[in-house]
Amino acid sequence: MKAKKLLTMLIAAAGLAVAQPDTKNKIAGQISELIETQDAAVKKFMDEVRALPREKQREAYQKGYPQFDDTIEALYTIVEENPAEVATLKAISWISSHSRGKELKPEIFAALEKHHLDHSELSEVILSFYTAKGENTQAFLATVIEKSKAQDARGSALYIQATQIERDTAKTAQYKALVEKLNAEHANLEVRGRRVAAMMKATLEAKEKLAIGKSAPEIIGKDVDGKEMKLSDYNGKIVVLDFWGDW
Amino acid sequence: MYPHERSLVERLKDKPFTILGVNSDSSKRYKKAIEENNITWPSFWDGGRTGGPIATAWAVRGWPTIYIIDAKGVIRFKNTRGKAMDEAVDTLLKEMEGE
């Protein structure tokens, strides 16, 4: 009797040991399926819109763009049921980048802080906060910068803090400080394959050169037929310099 | 965009004023746009892409982006459009006449 009970326990334990990777794969599979289904719906829709005459595209686009709400809710459910599971980070990134600037639910930040603060993949999640500007997002970014042991996660948090205030003219000094810090501590941080710290610094320097009251830097270029043109050819005239495109 | 710019150019044709474009279209599309919209003012052609050398040097991130530069080459207004663009140009013209 005792031996039989022990055997049962052993089998149960073995089953549990096997069940863990299974559960993990199942969660990852469920997340991938939800995302792929939604992405496929978007692709199908976009193909249909592009097949329309150009003047009808805009209306069709505004009217029929696939809604994300159901997919977001389904992903939230999976994430909330498995807060410690690394596979959910992909779902969190997707939710965030498809929520049109709305920040994540507070319990998601709590789960990220508790279970994934030092995980290297946290960096990707943070980069999905590009347009999310809520208080909880700000608090979470500050926590990551202060406490995370993952270098890229800290770098991404600084990068997102910076991009969110880049256009806010009241926060120019704060923005400059963040760009300096990124260059000092995260020069190798890559976002979509580009080293962003140096890029941001170059843009910042260019903007300072291009402020109202500064001399316009010379432009030497060509017209579409290859004829050379210079901005200084128009010295003595008021110039409306118009960066344009017919799109 | 185009009708307003056309009327501004027409109104100030005898004044020290020009619109100077920096175009980011493909050469084909650019030529078509010039024809279809009767664009009479000059443009730099920035290599057929939004990341072209001039737009990059001027840190342009959105289109259209407008700079208004006075006769001495100083940047005086940024992203001034529509009626405000006319007023800005008129202000600079008055400055020149007063000197």
For chain A, what are the domain ranges? 14-54+68-209
Locus of tokens 């919209």: B37
Query: Interface pTM (ipTM) of the complex?
Result: 0.96
Per-residue pLDDT band for A133 (boundaries 50, 70, 90) equals confident
Searching chain B, which residue's CA lies closest to the CA of residue A213?
Answer: B75
Per-residue pLDDT band for B98 (boundaries 50, 70, 90) equals confident
pTM equals: 0.68
Q: Is the peptide bond before B64 cis (omega within 30 degrees of 0)?
A: yes
Q: pLDDT by residue (tens digit) across B13-52?
A: 999 999 999 999 999 999 999 999 889 999 999 999 888 9
Domain ranges of chain B: 2-91
pLDDT at A186 over 90: yes
Q: Do A244 and B43 touch (CB under 8 A)?
A: yes
A chain contacts of residue B64, beta-carbon cutoff 8 Å: 242-245
- A242 in reach of chain B (CB within 8 A): yes
Smallest Cβ–Cβ distance between A241 and the set B17, B20, B25 belongs to B20
Share of chain A above pLDDT 90, in %: 73
pLDDT at A15 over 80: no
Smallest Cβ–Cβ distance between A206 and the set B18, B43, B59 belongs to B59
A chain contacts of residue B18, beta-carbon cutoff 8 Å: 234, 237-240
What is the per-residue pLDDT for A183? 97
Domain B2-91 is found in CATH 1.20.1250.20:
no
A chain contacts of residue B5, beta-carbon cutoff 8 Å: 240, 242
Smallest Cβ–Cβ distance between B58 and the set A206, A229, A238 belongs to A206
Smallest Cβ–Cβ distance between A238 and the set B1, B58, B71 belongs to B71
